[in-house]
Amino acid sequence: MTRRIDLPADELQLAIPRAVIERLIGQGALCAAEVRCLDLASKQHLQRVCLCHCAGCAVPRPVWLAKTKLRR
């Protein structure tokens, strides 16, 4: 069963693959401040992606990002 969330008229409720979010943030096409995560796991992943992007991924990639591909 899908949960109904009342959204303002100018917002959409979407599911976007992690790789797409990572690519958009990596390209600078999307900023975390422009989205609202609907669950804790999504928020934590978005925070990690942002931290990696801000660090320029110059540091070794953490284990949790080992299987993801961030494109710059």
pLDDT band at 72 (very low <50, low <70, confident <90, very high): very low
How many CB atoms within 10 Å of residue 48? 15
Mean pLDDT, range 36-63, rounded to an integer: 79
50-57 mean pLDDT: 78
Average pLDDT over residues 9-36: 89
The pTM assigned to this predicted structure is 0.61
